[in-house]
Amino acid sequence: MSNENKQYRVFVVGFSLIVVVILAFLLKPLFSNWKNREKNLAEQKVNEEILKAPSITADELFQKIQDKSKIFLVDISASDDFKRGHIALAKNMPAENLNKDFFRESGVDAAADIFIVNQGGDLAALAQTTNRVVADGFANAKYLRGGIADWREQGYPLVSAGGSEEDNAKVKKITIDEIKKDAGTNPLSLQFLDVRDKNSYAAEHIVGAINVPLGEIEAEKNNIPALKKVIVYGSNDDESFQAAVALFDLNFFNIYQMQGSIEDWKAAEGNTASGDQ
């Protein structure tokens, strides 16, 4: 009786395995078709997002900038990519933060021309972001076709935050002794530019310096005299270097980074003031 039970169990297990194999063989095409259908639907949805999203070419955007059209640029690139090169006046913000609150806090109304920029990859995600902004009520939102990669390839200008060998070549340095010598011969040709925050400037600054904080240089570039020899200083060398690089990228070619701090200036018997003097 025991042998018969064993044989019966072996028969059942074997028969079950055969059934499983047959079912797997028969169902495989159905499963494969289902997977392909899901993949096709996903691809179709992506294509629909891309086709629906409004866009602008690098040439068209550059012309708008040249015409001084009122636009709002937002770059959704990673922070490091943004620092390596971005379009002047662009705000750096992750795509997921582009909502009504962000645009309202930035002073952007629903009818504004908004241009969304990335590095040039992941078109599907960029298109989806653009469509979401449009759906939020900003009907004139568009994405930049080809992103920063295409913008750079076209030879259009970018503003860098410094850090590369190319950026090092943009900055001319000047010592405090050289500044004093220039001031002694032609003081009206010099302009000190203090790129520290407004509170630091108000507490103490070099006499005659104007204050444009580092983060406001792109927006306030018209307040910086282009025809003078501009001497940049900040809280530290990194801050003044970044400012000098940004100004070079903004077409200021008579910019010099002061070697030394305001304390070094005072140690060399340079005059300082406080407040708005």
Residue ranges for the chain with pLDDT beneath 70: 1-15, 19-21, 23-27, 29-47, 277
Q: Which residues contact 64 (CB under 8 A, 6 or more apart)?
A: 71, 113
The CATH homologous superfamily of the domain defined by 55-153: Rhodanese-like domain (3.40.250.10)
The one-character DSSP state at 89 is T
What's the pLDDT at 116?
A: 98
What's the pLDDT at 216?
A: 96
* Cα distances (Å, whole numbers) of residue 150 to 60, 117, 217, 240, 269: 12, 11, 25, 30, 50
CA-derived radius of gyration, the chain: 31
Give this prediction's pTM. 0.80
pLDDT in tens, 16-43: 777 666 766 666 766 666 566 666 555 5
Domain 165-273 CATH (choose: 3.90.550.10, 3.40.250.10, 3.40.50.11540, 3.30.470.20):
3.40.250.10
Q: Which residues contact 190 (CB under 8 A, 6 or more apart)?
A: 179, 182, 183, 208, 228, 229, 231
pLDDT in tens, 153-178: 999 999 998 777 889 999 999 999 99
In which residue are the tokens 């568009």 written? 142
| End-to-end Cα separation, the chain, in angstroms | 111
